[in-house]
A and B are shown apart, each in its own frame.
Chain A
Amino acid sequence: MDRPLLKITDLKKYFPVKGGLFGRPVGWVRAVDGVSFEIFRGEAFGLVGESGSGKTTLGQTVLRMHGRTSGQVMFDGLDIHSLPPKEFHKTHTRMQYIFQDPYSSLNPRIRIGDAIAEPLLAHRLATRADVGEQVENILAQCGMAARFMDRYPHEFSGGQRQRIVIARAIALNPEFIVADEPVSSLDVSIQAQIINLFSDLQEERKLTYLFISHDLGIVEHLCSRIAIMYLGSVVELATRSELFLNPIHPYTKALLSAVPIPDPERKRSRIVLNGDIPSPENPPLGCRFHTRCPYAKDICREKVPEFRKVKDHHQVACHLF
């Protein structure tokens, strides 16, 4: 772990709320509001948050699927958001994205062999003569037989489709993959298969992951460093063992205690949070979490807590600590 592969500095992404006459923006949804972290080569970095926390927007902004409002994304020395179009096009072979829903991320009218072959041809990573063979190899690596190449997406189950989507992404031989809740729409027994596929691929291809999920169990299994996001900003970032053994931020603690454990006899002290996540269009002043925090003090309502280092490999944004 030396130089980070990906370095995000104070990244912000606001979406305009259109309203009034002529669709002028009347407000801003602060989906991502000042996030900074680094991801090192070969690691699986977990990004956890509830719906509306901005984790998906963050993942998509990292890959420049839309513009940013401010801040910087550096990928291996390249400033992703200021690359000219030609250079940016080349980054597609180095960074890939896996979407949450395998049902809608495959075009229903394209045979899956073609779906995987297309990007290879677009980036000249294969010729028409050898593309078939490459597709077969990739599919095999993702646990799918070559005979499926001529089928349409609707002939597959969710788990198989997610394998196809993964195959399509790794076909370009990227170094870095953003996986946005890749298993959350799958059944439990299939989830395990796909998670194992992710770990196998990481080992074989030395991949770096930004793994976005709301499921702490899966993130603990797969990721070595984990960031917890709440309302557009990261509240806690630590290594796996640190985060699960010594969580500091009250939100992390509440999140951990809310995860259902398959053991009816376990006595648990649950921290029940009141209310819902506030709207990112109108976030609370001071600490974003103070409206739901059981320990909120006056300072929390006034001042935004700094995101600072409390230990080696453990950063947190909370006034109480």
Chain B
Amino acid sequence: MSILKRKASSGRKRSKSIWEQSFRRLFKNRSAVFSACILGFMFLFSFVGPLISPYSSNGIDVTVMKHPPDFTHWLGTDIYGRDVMTRLMLAGRISLTVGLASMVLSLLLGSLLGAVSGYYGGIVDSIIMRIADILMSIPSLPLLIIIAAMLSEFKVPTDYRLYIVMLMLSLVGWPGLARLIRGQILSLREQMYMKAADVLGLGTWRKIFHHLLPNTYPLLIVVATLSTASGILSESTLSFLGLGVVEPTSSWGNMITIANNLIDFQKHPWLWIPPGAAIFITVVAINVLGDAVRDVLDPKMKGR
């Protein structure tokens, strides 16, 4: 980021960056550290776990169908005799990836469009904001369901479904973000230091990307964490409805589908409790972390 390269010989003490200072404060926040640990565990569980697991995702074993948890299958087996634990791990991969990827995508779209909209104003602003308004005024769940239904109609291969789900989620995710960023940029643009940047004759892109956007990072980070959580939730909802990630690929959402069956719901709770708990724990952890990050980055919010 810095223009000036640090001279190793001059020995001047580089003061701690704003990020370092924030991280330090975050480490002192107990609930933040706790939820970060949980999230870390979730990631390890999902991405490293399957490598250790002796079972494969589609390892159908008709001899042990709907087997309750024991020492060989820690979370039991499902209706095809596949190991629930292994599937839970692989489902975690999908759900976390979808959540993160849709967040990154909508963050990029939202911050770019929001910044451009806020900086230029006028007709550019009007066009971008009207598009955002339209997208925001359509209820997102029905929209997603309709798109998903169309996808099944066109027989889109199941492997691609995953990517399309991500795209859909970021499509409905960016307008809110763009609005937030635009609002911030609008007020930042009036700051004295932006006027100073004008008088100093700095270029437009430099002003947007080096002066304005970094000042919105605190907000962006908070929104990013929270939108990851909502991405995971939306993906689960879609998959639960059979419109997102579909069998045989597993996701936390489509694993719970089993609870639709009253007998499985009552007699085989190991089939739906683990994925449900995974969603719950992950989302709560992300939200708690998001709140803590907000407190750290925006000291004014403290104590309210």
- Of the stretches A73-81, A100-108, A190-198, A264-272, the one at the interface is A100-108
Q: Are B3 and A104 in contact (CB under 8 A)?
A: no
Given contacts A104-B193, A147-B13, A150-B6, contact A96 B202 (CB under 8 A): no
Given contacts A97-B196, A101-B192, A107-B215, contact A131 B201 (CB under 8 A): no
Q: Contacts A122-B201, A122-B203, A131-B4: A109 and B192 contacting too (C-beta < 8 A)?
A: no
Q: Scoring B residues 17 to 59 as 1 if CB is less than 8 Å from chain A, else 0, what string do you get? A: 0100000000000000000000000000000000000000000
Query: B211: which A residues are within 8 A, CB to CB?
Result: 107, 110
User: Contact size class for B?
Assistant: 20 to 34
A113 CB contact (under 8 Å) in B4, B200, B201 = B4
A119 touches which of B191, B194, B200, B210 (Cβ 8 Å) = B200
- Closest chain B residue, CB of each to CB of A145: B12
Verify B12–A118 contact, CB threshold 8 A. no
Nearest A residue (CB) for B191: A104
A65 and B199 in contact (CB under 8 A), knowing A105-B192, A105-B193, A121-B3?
yes
Instruction: Write out the residue numbers on chain B whose beta carbons fall within 8 Å of the beta carbon of A96.
Output: 199-200
A122 to nearest B CB, angstroms?
A: 5
Q: Is A89 an interface residue (CB 8 A)?
A: yes
- Which of chain A's residues have a CB closer than 8 A to the CB of B18? 109, 152
- A104–B192 CB distance below 8 A: yes
Contact check, B191 vs A149: say whether CB atoms are below 8 A apart.
Answer: no
Inter-chain contact B4/A92, CB cutoff 8 Å: no
A149 proximity list for chain B (CB < 8 A): 4, 12
In the assembled complex, which residues on chain B have CB atoms less than 8 Å from the CB atom of A108? 215
B300, CB-defined interface residue at 8 Å: no
Q: Is the CB of B200 within 8 A of A132?
A: no
Given A107-B193, A109-B214; A122-B200 close (CB under 8 Å) = yes
- The interface size bin for chain A is 35 or more
Residue of A nearest to B198 (CB): A65
The answer to whether B63 has its CB under 8 Å from any CB of chain A is no
A11 interface residue per 8 A CB criterion: no
- Docked CA distance A166–B203 (Å): 21
Report chain B residues within 8 Å CB of A107: 191, 193-194, 197, 211, 215
Interface string of A170-199 (1 = CB under 8 A from B): 001000000000000000000000000000
Q: In the complex, A93→B201 CA distance in Å?
A: 8
From residue B230, how far is it (CB to closest CB) to chain A in Å?
28
Which residues of A are found within 8 Å of B6, using beta-carbon distances?
A: 150
- Kindly state the separation between the CA atoms of A99 and B194 in the bound complex, as whole angstroms: 11
The answer, yes or no, to whether A206 is at the interface (CB within 8 Å) is: no
Chain B residues with CB under 8 Å of A109's CB are 18, 214-215, 217
B199 touches A118 (CB 8 A): no
Q: List 18 A-B contacts (CB under 8 A).
A: A89-B201, A93-B201, A99-B196, A104-B192, A106-B196, A107-B191, A107-B193, A108-B215, A109-B217, A110-B214, A118-B200, A118-B210, A119-B200, A119-B201, A119-B202, A122-B201, A165-B196, A169-B200
Given contacts A105-B195, A110-B214, A150-B6, 15 further A-B contacts (CB under 8 A): A65-B199, A89-B201, A99-B195, A105-B193, A106-B193, A107-B193, A107-B197, A113-B2, A117-B3, A150-B12, A150-B15, A152-B18, A155-B15, A168-B196, A168-B200
